Amino acid sequence: MKRLKSTFHSAKENTIHTVKKIKKEHLITKYLKNNILFLTFVLTAVFNSTILRFFCMHMLENYLSFKAILADITVAVFIGSFCYLFKPKNRFTYLMIANIFLTAICMINSVYYTFYTSFASVSMLSLTQYIGDVGDAVVENVLQLKDIIYIIGPIVLAIVHFKLKKKNYYKKIEIKSDRKKRMLSTLAASGILALLFLVTMTPLDVSRFAKQWNKEYIVMRFGIYVYQANDVITSIQPKINSMFGYDKANKAFKDYFADVKEEPEKNEYSDIFEGKNVIVIHAESMQTNAIGLKFNDREVTPTLNKLTKEGLYFSNFYSQVSVGTSSDSELTYNTSLMPTKSGTAFVSYYDRTFISTPKLLQEKGYYTFSMHANNADFWNRRTMHENLGYERFFSKKDYEVTKENIIGLGLSDKEFFKQSVEKLKKINEENQKWYGTLIMLTNHTPFSDTEKYGDFEVNMKETVTKEDGTTEEVIYPYMEGTKLGNYFKSYHYADEALGEFISELDEAGLLDNTVIVLYGDHDARLPKADYNRLYNYDKESDGILSDEDPNYIKYDSYQYELGRKVPFLIWTKDMAGSELNQEITNVMGMYDVMPTLGNMLGFYNKYQLGHDIFNIKDNNIVVFPNGNWVTNKVYYNSQKEAYLSLSDEAISEEEIKSNNEYANKLLDVSDDIIVFDLLNENKDAVNEEKKGE
Ligand code: GP9
Ligand code: MN
């Protein structure tokens, strides 16, 4: 009986389940049937965006990226939801307009990508020169099927619409009362999808999205529609920033530079390199702390060790970058201005007027150029290098990049230098004097292409004599397998590339009248714990020494922050042993390069924020974008409002206060110059000063 009861029970359950299932199926089919046009709209929008990624980025994980597809669906559902505000027969018009709009975004980007290997930005399109370029691109590409394939979207939508109309579909589904409800529930669905998307975001996604310059990455993760919406917002932001506070900023600017001399202060370094060719090496992620470092008696940076010993080496030098990393260091190096407080100068303020080293040298008759084997739009360099006064930018398309010669982000440094030497030979033949910046690439985070860096071990080897008199080699892992260890391997490779470059230049006779300037662009952002292991390795436990051990070296956050020093050096073939061959230990920042180098090459910019290190000497202060600063005596951390004394001299409260004021004023005036375009606004005064020189 019991058994019978339970069989009956489960039969009943089954029936309920089947009924529910049928109802569910019925609901789904009902939904599909009632929303054919809306769904066609969503599908075509997602299809177009996917096709765009397919044509531009080729790799399967890019165009079939789950995140991008989810983002595209979210946007399409969101936009499409408003169609429910209209009567069914009018929904087509709304969806068609929206579809054409989204299709246009895909088409424009498809054409733009073919031309620039990057995605379009509204801020760029607003510049007439770009409209010209893009216009040409459209003409050149108009016949390419891949650019017009996107009209499949509106065509499919139209076909579906006319078929439905013929079947009297719109009249059948007309239920007046539920329009608002349907719109709201669809909107809510897009909200849920957006939430789902947000939980899949990694910190890297968030930071790249905020910066908006790594366009390929954003399109790959967020889809083209979110990219374009973000692009509009980031393009408008600088305009909004510059709408308020102009008068105050202009006054502060005039006051700041009122007492600055029109003429440079001369010293024994004035004009020493006037008329010489200059090669500037932007050394990716090179930090000072690897210089002189050895593993098992092998130097990490033999080339840099040699150059720093033979040249004029600034060993207490800091880069002053913000979120714009490489591009910020280029900005500060070239203009003696600080990175902007929001956004990045290269991306958000690329159309401002800058007084820069290449521009001033161009005025002195130099041919100016830059070389970097990465995509020209990375960090918006294509535009900014022109604005900074480089007459020619040799980028990825000017180099032969094959699968075999790629390491990490792109063309390997060895190959980059090799191919650059050929270009330099030609430049040298065609120009009397020239100034060029070469931007390295291989030594870039995450330093994981270790098998391509060549042999460089970062372990610890020891030879032990055994009781029987024979010897044995013991190997301790030390830095092997750590991120810092991999960084040293990568650094060693980059240093070797540098060495080969110098030899090749010498062989080509290009060093005879040339000054080499090298700066590390910023630190490599490596874990503090890895430095602790480097300085406090306990081979017995393969861990870290106890802080009571006599050999323990303190490495706290102050040491870490101060350890972000990067090398800066000036070297010529014949400098070794001369008066110029020296180490300068006074603290110096990237913004001091333009004044210091300017004095040596014979140019001057009144609106520079740094100082000639040979004038300011031990009285210098290096201000960081976050308000921290360092002098020879003290390092101040503005977030913690705490400092570390760097000398035996007492530090007074007043000193801290006045340096804080100096730092804040400098950061404000620098930001104002860029945001309010003050060098352009005051161009009459600026030009007047130039004439007076
Ligand atoms: C890219 C390279 C790296 O071309 O300069 O930029 P970063 O990530 O160091 O800012
Ligand atoms: Mn960099």
> pLDDT (tens digit, 9 = 90+) per residue, 247-256?
999 999 999 9
Residue with CA at minimum distance from ligand 1 atom 1? 378
Ligand nearest to the CA of 285: 2
pTM: 0.79
pLDDT over threshold 50, residue 196: yes
Q: How confident is the model at residue 18 (pLDDT cuts 50, 70, 90)?
A: low
Give residue 238 CA to ligand 2 midpoint distance, Å: 24
User: CA-to-CA distance for 352 and 379, rounded, in angstroms?
Assistant: 16
DSSP states along 327-361:
HHHHHHHHHS-PPPSSS-HHHHSTTS----HHHHH
Residue with CA at minimum distance from ligand 1 atom 3? 326
Amino acid at 162: F
Give residue 552 CA to ligand 1 midpoint distance, Å: 35
The separation between CA 568 and the C-alpha centre of its own chain, rounded to angstroms, equals 21
Res 691: pLDDT: 57
> pLDDT (tens digit, 9 = 90+) per residue, 511-551?
999 999 999 999 998 999 999 999 999 999 999 999 999 99
Q: How confident is the model at residue 213 (pLDDT cuts 50, 70, 90)?
A: low
> pLDDT (tens digit, 9 = 90+) per residue, 410-458?
999 999 999 999 999 999 999 999 999 999 999 999 999 999 999 999 9
Atom of ligand 1 nearest to the CA of 521: 9
Q: How confident is the model at residue 29 (pLDDT cuts 50, 70, 90)?
A: confident
Ligand nearest to the CA of 208: 1
Res 531: pLDDT: 96
682 vs 309 pLDDT, higher one = 309
Q: How confident is the model at residue 558 (pLDDT cuts 50, 70, 90)?
A: very high
286, 326, 394: residue to mutate for ligand 1 pocket, most atoms within 8 A of CB:
326
Res 138: pLDDT: 46
Residue with CA at minimum distance from ligand 1 atom 5? 326
Res 639: pLDDT: 77
Q: Which residues contact 545 (CB under 8 A, 6 or more apart)?
A: 536, 537, 538, 551, 552
User: CA-to-CA distance for 286 and 314, rounded, in angstroms?
Assistant: 14
Res 141: pLDDT: 45
> pLDDT (tens digit, 9 = 90+) per residue, 387-399?
999 999 999 999 9
Res 134: pLDDT: 40
pLDDT over threshold 50, residue 132: no
Res 142: pLDDT: 47
Parts of the chain belonging to CATH 3.40.720.10: 251-692
pLDDT over threshold 90, residue 179: no
- Average confidence (pLDDT) over 161-165: 94
Q: How confident is the model at residue 60 (pLDDT cuts 50, 70, 90)?
A: low
Q: How confident is the model at residue 2 (pLDDT cuts 50, 70, 90)?
A: very low
Hey, is 125 helix, strand or coil? helix
- Average confidence (pLDDT) over 326-330: 96
- Average confidence (pLDDT) over 260-285: 96
Angle subtended at Cα 572 by Cα 568 and Cα 578, rounded to the nearest 5 degrees: 100
Q: Is the dihedral of CA 672, 675, 679, 683 positive or negative?
A: negative
Q: Which residues of 72-92 are buried (b: 16+ CB within 10 A; e: fewer)?
A: bbbbbbbbbbebbeeebeebb
171 vs 513 pLDDT, higher one = 513
> pLDDT (tens digit, 9 = 90+) per residue, 353-383?
999 999 999 999 999 999 999 989 889 999 9
Identify whether the C-beta of residue 350 lies closer than 8 Å to the C-beta of residue 384: yes
Res 128: pLDDT: 37
Ligand 2 ion local residues (Cβ < 5 A): 284, 325-326, 521
- Average confidence (pLDDT) over 632-639: 92
For ligand 1, whether the C-beta of 282 sits within 6 Å is no
Q: How confident is the model at residue 131 (pLDDT cuts 50, 70, 90)?
A: very low
For ligand 1, whether the C-beta of 374 sits within 6 Å is yes
Q: Highest-confidence range of 8-17, 86-95, 117-126, 201-210, by mean pLDDT?
A: 86-95
Q: How confident is the model at residue 168 (pLDDT cuts 50, 70, 90)?
A: confident
Q: How confident is the model at residue 111 (pLDDT cuts 50, 70, 90)?
A: confident
pLDDT over threshold 80, residue 405: yes
- Specify the fold of 251-692: Alkaline Phosphatase, subunit A (3.40.720)
Long-range contacts of 535-538 (CB under 8 A, 24+ apart): 537/460, 537/476, 537/478, 537/479
Res 471: pLDDT: 94
Res 621: pLDDT: 98
Give residue 326 CA to ligand 1 midpoint distance, Å: 5
Q: Which residues contact 293 (CB under 8 A, 6 or more apart)?
A: 299, 300, 301, 488
For ligand 1, whether the C-beta of 326 sits within 6 Å is yes
User: CA-to-CA distance for 90 and 73, rounded, in angstroms?
Assistant: 23
689 vs 679 pLDDT, higher one = 679
Please identify which residue in the block is written with the tokens 């031990």.
618
Give residue 96 CA to ligand 2 midpoint distance, Å: 45
Res 118: pLDDT: 74
For ligand 1, whether the C-beta of 325 sits within 6 Å is yes
**What average pLDDT does the chain have?**
90
